[in-house]
Structure 1
Amino acid sequence: MLLEDFYNFLSFVFAVDEINQNPNILPNVTLGYNVYDSYVDLFRTVYGAVLIFSGNTAQYPNYNCDQYGVLAAIIEGMSSSFSIQYANIFGMYKYPQIGFVSQDPLQTNKQKFPDFYRAVPSENTLYDGVIALIKHFGWKWIGIIYPDADSNINAMKIIKNMLDQIGVCIDFTLTVPAINDYSLQRIRQIKYIINKSTANVILVYGSKNDVYYLELNVKITHIPNKIWIHTADYSFRMINHVNDPVVNGSLRFILHKREDPNFIKFVQEVNPSRFPPGRTFTTWWDELCENRCPFNPRRRNCTGVESGRQILYSHCNLRFTGMSYAVYNSVYVLAYALHQLYLETPLNERLLDQRKLTFQDLKHWKLHKYVKKVNFTNRLGDEIYFTGDEIPTWYDIFNAVYLPNYTILAQKTPRSICSESCLPGYRKSSREGQPVCCYDCLPCPEGQFSNETDATVCMYCPEDQWPNENKTACVPKIVTFLSHEDPIGIALTFIAVLFTISASAVLGIFINYQHTPIVKANNRDLSYLILIALMLSCLCCLFFIERPERVSCFLRQSVFGITFSISISSLLAKTAIVVIAFNATKPGKNLRKWVGAKVLKYIVFMCSLFQVFICFTWIFVAPPSTYKNTESEIGRIILECDKASAIAFYIILGYLCILGSVCFLVAFLARKLPDTFNDAKLITFSMLVFITVWIFFIPTYLSAKGTSTVAVQVFAILASSSGMLGSIFAPKCYIILLKPEQNKKKNVLKGTM
């Protein structure tokens, strides 16, 4: 027997006495009552229902042998399964039933239960309260224990669905007996599952009787490192000894209670002789005052008791009064309904039978009209909220930090999670075969980021941005290009300027020694033209080593193509004139008219003009522009000339390779001609260098990325320019500057240089 039930009984008696003494409620009518104990047994519950119909002494279904009064209604405090059975029985006779315990939403259906009324909110509000509590503390990993009953099974379906919607996972769901049917093996199994669980929070869903048996057998509140959420409105101390440790920080949902000073006085002064004698009342009475007031009319008080050992059960501590306030309200709801019926009954009917009122004629009461007249404010369900005083304090078992003097330095809200939260920069990866709350944290792939905790996917940055080092946010990409400030750019600039100066120096030497035999013998005009073209080709590399712009993109390819075409066509002209001159000396050949300066200029002009035509066709068909390459290098934007510029470059390069191949072939064939002024061997070598450089350039260029592609192109231009400059003009400069005695006409004519 639960002590709280005795508080409920006393609250019931107190409310009836208070109504009977109130002249404004049911004047000239006295309320009486019969009390039946269900013993948490369905058979005894039905047995009690038959006693209510038949009378207090015998069981005669469909017969009423009660001589003391008319049955007006039933006020019951049973669990939902028993309450539904009572509603089915009393519904047949249209008797109103007021429940102050059952919160089953099924009983809200007026079509199935038209005569059932409740003094407590529906479980739908309790569902919201459980979800709000779990969400408030951020718990994501919980266990659930509930007694095996139909109402609890239906409630679990709803709660699990609501938990799933807020991202809470369930570690285990444990069904326990709904009655006191615990075997030793079952108790061990329950404890094993609870201790094995990694969840710190466990929801215990069920009525107080169910929880009573669970705690009595398993003693769940003694299991450490667990927070228990109880939906049953009961005191933790009702089944624990005063000295037993109870786990701190457990939570329970309670209905609104009001401590009435008159009720406290009533409990302290009520005469036990007014109750029927028996072992049950005697036991309750002794427990109510902790054996300090035997079962007799002696008045009880708390004088001198407060300073003694802690009082938990007695009437001196009424913090835990169970459902007594709901019982009190239930009686008043019924009284107001009867009072309204009394006022609506004609006076002549009341005079005919002043002893009792006939209530059976009213089939369906409208009790809900009078609920608003009773104080139901601040009920759970009107508003779910948590205040500072209601938030529990969790101690060392849940992350508290203690100093040497045992003072608490810091104390955090207990956590209940399956996996630690994934920080920004990581994403969740579900574990196979486990709930979604159990996961691994994987870093975001290259080029992706996550800026929130517990991200499920990593996102891509905008095209002009890139994840930072921690992959938690996007930062602007570094805009880069081959510039004069880069080490490679500085080196290439230095080499380009050096080769330009070298070509200028050679040109200066040739101009200074233009009247010497060796300069005259190599066609001064073509030599000057080749040297100027090589100077320009080296200088055009500076267009590559700067920020790409529309003009520079055009100039870099055009100047490169035109200057190289001039150089190669000039070499082709020099070689071709040697072949023509040799063949002109043969008998029967009429080629003397092709030996002269006009032919040389014609060859150079026509070969170079075709390259100019390619360049201007490109600028009109697909004008160049800058292009932001965001894919070549990680975290960088490479400024390049667009793909149209690259196509034009390949066309220009293709023509130069064709021109160089023709020049190489002609020079190779003319290398052994008996001509004193023949440079065919040097030209053959220079063209071999040119072709080799550009053959190796193509695969290197295609495999390079970013600024390396521009650097490779510049290197190829400088290498081929230096090859032509060194192979053709270096030997001549050596003779002019270091061997001037050989720079004689007789030596040139004899070919002894």
Structure 2
Amino acid sequence: MSLRGSVFLLMFCSGVCQIPNFGCRPGTPYSQRPFYMAGDVLIGGLFDIHIYFKTEAFYFSSPPHLQPRKISMLLEDFYNFLSLVFAVDKINRNPKILPNVTLGYNVYDSYVDLFRTVQGAVRIYSGNTKQFPNYNCDKYSVLAAVIDGMASPFSIQYSNIFSIYKHAQLSFISQDPIQNDKRQFPYFYRAVPSEKTLYSAILTLLNYFGWTWIGILCPDDDSTISAIKDIKKMFEEGGGCIEFIKVVPAINNYNPERIMDIKYTIANSTANVILVYGSKNYIYYLEQNVFISTIPGKVWIHTAESSFRMLITLNYTHINGSLHLNMHKVEIPDFIKFVQEVDPKRFPTGRTFTTWWDELCQNRCPFNSRRRNCTGVESGRIIDYSHCNLRYTAMSYSVYNSVYIVAHALHEMYQETLSKRLGDRNKLKFQDLKPWKLHRFLKKVNFTNTMGQRIYFNDDGIPTGYDIYNMAYLPNGTIVSQNVGCFSGDGTSGKQLNINEKAIIWERTFSKTPRSVCSEKCPPGKRKSVFKGKPVCCYDCLPCPEGEYSNKTDADICTRCPEDQWSNKVKTACSPMIITYLSSNDDIGIALSLMVLIGFFLSAGVLGIFIKYQNTPIVKANNRHLSYLLLTSIMFSFLCCQIFIGRPDPLICFSQQSIFGITFSVSVSSLLAKTFVVVVAFNATKPGNNLRKWTGAQLPKYIVLSCSAIQVSICSLWLVISPPYTQYDKKSEPGTIIVQCNEGSVIAFYAILGYFCILASICFVFAFLARKLPDTFNDAKLITFSMLVFFSVWVFFILTSHNAKGTSVVTVEVFAILASSSGLLTCMFAPKCYIIIIKPEKNQKKNLVTRAFD
């Protein structure tokens, strides 16, 4: 037994137990029992028919049960008791269940009060209107089981007491999963599903409307706090967040500061949906003190098993859109007829019960003394919220099933005992039975009730679903509570939610179905970025980086595209990358190819002119064979550019840089040979100079061959050690695969450039020194200018290539080759062609000052 239960029991005993007068007192034990019917076997009951609520603060200056309180009758809960009476009457008239045995009941009102609950429990066991713990004063009946209609905290306290007496306890309200533990609650059974099904219904409802940002109000008791922890965990695992959890008093213990704190929290919350979790009694206290239904702009989700008559306040306008989860109702055949025709004299008298009967019929429904026709119609006006129009509640159906469960278990136990006594009914008395053994037969209960529903116990109680009600205030002043959907499922599988969303009347603040989210959903193409220190539902939406995508809403991360694909513009999918290279079909490729052709044909034309006028002095000057070689190498320099234009394949990549390097080496070597010939030829004519031996016709050839051979050696070594290869560059340009040639060895590449730059430097020095030699056809000046152009172009290439990416690198190199080749062609041969074609009179031998070597 818990400490709290022990304290109440001790308080109770201290007030009623007198040691000298313990035990059963004389007198008829049945007198003055308000809810009693005699029988061979009794079904006990603890029902919340009235409710206490305080009129001023508790100071405990006197025993709690003597504190000033007001009593209010829970009008709809009286149906639960009537359902028990109806079921007992039906069973007693059924010859197939407990034949020759009369079923009775002994029910006490718990007043939603733990003290009254303990007091009622002891009275049920003692069989007297006075409580005598550990004494059974009822000599005429035997107690079989107790049906309780209390909220989970009270039901758990009652279980702790009841386990002492080993009687079966059936609850038609308590859903706390902790009571599934048969080691702790071996005699507890429930005629409703456990709270796990309710959790599932709540979460499915929130998920249906996309409400991921909610607040929670709950009473301050261990059972509910445990339930809220489970709901919070499941809700957050499903992607939801809770803005606040406000714990309200579990009893009617409100003060102005607490009321203002609750109102402030709700009114200033950004969540539009508030889950009010707890039994109807706590909700009743909350509404009576805080008037939560007057706070606008909120959707209230109630879990209280109630018709919500108690929730109405003087201001109805803000109750619109509130949703209530009630266990699925099943109409009990003939129950309404029973209620209409039952004689009120069978039940307690007094102001509160008279009020109930008045509510049922007088002034609201057509009435006569014996037959009531509660149609809900009076003078054409629909009675929308009188409990006479409720007909019954889901709890009444659970009570009805509970009575039949006990009856079927008693029947099986009776038959088994009778068979052991060989059918001698006269020797069998129910007092001889062992009621604490009833739970063995309860476990085996499996029958189909009069409504066609199969009744049996599983680990979570009796499976059932939930109805969803919408409470609204109509413009004509009518309050309606309409069924707008249902949830079916056992909480773990087969869950299904059906809602008629169009039938829901929302609070007037909302023009359409309300939304309740901390942040709007991130569309595809973006990902969530959670704010530091805030719940995961509060986030910003960031676009996916290049090369990544998200194709779903509220993606946590963006997914990287496959290696050969790239994200589209909106980052919602990947598409194959564009393969690019310096193509001859592109504008730049076409322009470069056209320049290659022009340069090639110009070089070929100049070569043709030189061959045609090969015997003229200007062609013969400075070695015409070197001029032919130079023009041929320039032609090939132009042509080698075409190797760089087009899709690179392994063979092209392997050879393009080597061909370019060797071709340019031949060109620069030819210029070096020309320069050397000019210098040697001039100085050889001076008296006493011994350079004449170097003026032979074979010298230029040796220069060209030796200088070119070194470049060929460098290229060969490069191709052997680290040859160039085809590379697919996916990083330089997003979404593009650049097919290009990788040099393999950058050192070797710059060694080739460096080598012919060294040759060009030597050539420039010699040409610069020989630029003023007295020769009309002296090539030194032309070579000097051509080397200046050559250096400028390749310095520009080296500087630009470091910053260029992708096809730009190839474009710059091709442009450098074209520019340097054009520079050599123009600087070296344009002046000579001008003389040959335009000024032929200057192309005379008499104009030669120095000797030309041919």
When normalised by structure 2's length, the TM-score is 0.81
Tell me whether 1:592 sits opposite 2:692 in the alignment: yes
The sequence identity of aligned pairs, in percent, is 63
**Structure-2 change in CA distance of 1:319 and 1:426 (3 Å):** farther
Aligned residues of 2:336 and 2:391 also touching (Cα < 8 A): no
Match of residue 169 from structure 2: 97
CA distance in 1, matches of 2:356, 2:414: 37
* Deviating more after overlay: 572-581 vs 360-369: 360-369
The amino acid that maps onto 1:393 is A
Say whether residues 1:545 and 2:655 are aligned partners: no
Q: Quick check: 618-627 or 241-250, which moved more?
A: 241-250
Residues 71-98 of structure 1 deviation map (CA, whole Å, 9 limit, x = unaligned): 2222111111111121111211222222
Q: Secondary structure at the match of 1:228?
A: strand
Deviation at 1:360, TM superposition (A): 4.4
Q: 1:421 aligns with which of 483, 498, 521?
A: 521
Equivalent runs, 1:239-254 vs 2, <5 Å: 239-240=311-312, 244-245=316-317, 247-254=319-326
Q: Which residues of 2 match residues 210-359 of structure 1 at below 5 A?
A: 210-240=282-312, 244-245=316-317, 247-292=319-364, 297-302=369-374, 305=377, 308-312=380-384, 317-343=389-415, 344-345=417-418, 346=421, 351-352=426-427, 356-359=430-433
Does the CA contact (< 8 Å) of 1:8 and 1:322 recur in 2? no
Distance (Å, rounded) in 2 between the aligned partners of 1:748 and 1:266: 142
Q: Aligned-pair distance for 1:204?
A: 1.7
Shift of 1:148: 0.9
Displacement after TM superposition at 1:438 (Å):
0.7
CA distance in 2, matches of 1:725, 1:546: 26
Partner of 1:530: 630
Partners of 1:199 and 1:417 within 8 A in 2:
yes
Query: Cα offset for 1:243?
Result: 10
Give the deviation of 1:154 after TM superposition.
0.9
> Per-residue CA shift, 1:631-664, capped at 9, x if unaligned?
2222222221123276554232122112112222
Q: Which moved more, 1:373-382 or 1:603-612?
A: 373-382
Q: How many residues align?
A: 740
Q: Secondary structure at the match of 2:540?
A: strand
Kindly indicate whether residue 271 of structure 2 is the aligned counterpart of residue 199 of structure 1. Answer: yes
1:379 corresponding residue in structure 2: 464
State the partner residue of 2:596.
Answer: 496
Equivalence for 1:722: 822
Of stretches 71-80 and 247-256 in structure 1, the one that deviates more from structure 2 is 247-256
Q: Considering only aligned residues, what root-mean-square deviation do their CA atoms show, in Å? A: 2.9
What do residues 95-125 of structure 1 show as CA deviations (whole Å, max 9, x unaligned)? 2222111111222212112222221122222
Alignment of 1:359-508 (within 5 A): 359-360=433-434, 362-363=436-437, 365-375=439-449, 377=454, 379-380=464-465, 381-382=489-490, 385-386=495-496, 388=498, 393-395=503-505, 397=507, 413-508=513-608
1:682–1:727: 8 Å Cα contact kept in structure 2? yes
Alignment partner of 1:36: what SS? strand
What does residue 636 of structure 1 align with? 736
Cα shift at 1:43: 1.3
Among residues 771, 784, 807, which one is paired with 1:671 in the alignment? 771
Mapped contact 1:249–1:393 kept (Cα < 8 A): no
Output the amino acid matched with 1:152: T
SS at match of 2:377: coil
- Alignment correspondent of 1:405: none
CA distance in 1, matches of 2:125, 2:654: 108
Unaligned regions of 5+ residues in structure 2, if any?
1-72, 455-462, 466-488
Compare 715-724 and 312-321 and name the one that shifted more: 312-321
CA shift for structure 1 position 161: 1.0
Shift of 1:437: 0.4
CA distance in 2 between partners of 1:181 and 1:704 (Å): 78
Alpha-carbon offset, residue 620 of structure 1: 4.3
Deviations 1:147-191 (A, max 9, x none): 111100111111111112111111111111222223344333323
Could you say what secondary structure the match of 1:325 adopts? helix
Call closer, same or farther: CA 1:237–1:277 in 2, change over 3 Å. Answer: closer
Q: How far apart are 1:537 and its partner, in Å?
A: 1.0
Listed as ranges, the gaps of 5+ residues in structure 1 are 402-410
Q: Does structure 2 conserve the Cα–Cα contact (< 8 Å) formed by 1:145 and 1:175?
A: yes
Taking the aligned partners of 1:160 and 1:655, their CA distance within structure 2 comes to 75
Seen in structure 2, the aligned counterparts of structure 1 residues 568 and 314 have a Cα distance that, compared at 3 Å, is closer
CA distance in 1, matches of 2:788, 2:382: 108
For residues 750 and 60 of structure 1, the distance between their equivalents in structure 2, rounded to whole angstroms, comes to 148
Deviates more, 1:713-722 or 1:339-348: 339-348
SS at match of 1:251: strand
1:244-276 deviation digits (Å, cap 9, x = unpaired): 457344333322332123211100000011113
Query: Structure 1: how far apart are the matches of 2:563 and 2:504?
Result: 49
Q: Secondary structure at the match of 1:640?
A: strand
Whether contact under 8 Å (2:156, 2:179) holds in the other structure is yes
Partner of 1:406: none
Tell me if structure 2 keeps the 8 A contact 1:72–1:359.
Answer: no
Distance 1:508 1:219 in 2: 108
CA deviations over 1:15-64 (Å, ceiling 9, x no partner) = 11112222222233222222211111111212222322334332333333
Query: Kindly tell me: are residues 727 and 213 of structure 1, through their superposed partners in 2, closer, same or farther at Cα, counting changes over 3 Å?
Result: same
The CA distance in 1 between the partners of 2:716 and 2:243, in whole Å, is: 75
Give distance in 2, aligned partners of 1:304 and 1:62: 48
- The answer to whether the 8 A contact 2:293-2:313 is kept is no
Instruction: Give the match's secondary structure for 2:382.
Output: coil
3-state DSSP class of the match of 1:71?
A: strand
Aligned letter for 1:704? Answer: A
Structure 1 stretch displaced more, 337-346 or 140-149:
337-346
CA distance in 2, matches of 1:313, 1:6: 16
Paired amino acid for 2:798:
I
Aligned equivalent of 1:654? 754
Pick the aligned partner of 1:31 from 97, 103, 124.
Answer: 103
Deviation at 1:325, TM superposition (A): 0.9
Deviation at 1:591, TM superposition (A): 3.9
For the residue of structure 2 that corresponds to 1:644, the secondary structure is: coil
The structure carrying a bigger strand percent of its residues is 2
Name the stretch that deviates more: 138-147 or 573-582.
573-582
Q: Which amino acid aligns with 2:231?
A: I
The aligned residue for residue 700 of structure 1 is 800
1:430 Cα deviation from its structure 2 partner: 0.9
Find the aligned partners of 2:655 and 2:365 in 1 and give their Cα distance.
Answer: 112
Deviation of residue 429 (structure 1)?
0.9
CA distance in 1, matches of 2:832, 2:296: 99
TM-aligned CA distance change 1:286 to 1:185, over 3 Å: farther
**Deviation string, structure 1 residues 565-608 (Cα, Å, up to 9, x no partner):** 22211121122223333444455554433212111211112222
Provide the secondary structure at the position in 2 that maps to 1:501. Answer: helix
Choose from 511, 525, 543 the match for 2:611.
511
Q: CA-to-partner distance for each residue in 1:462-497, whole Å, 9 max, x for gaps?
A: 333222111211122222222333333333333333
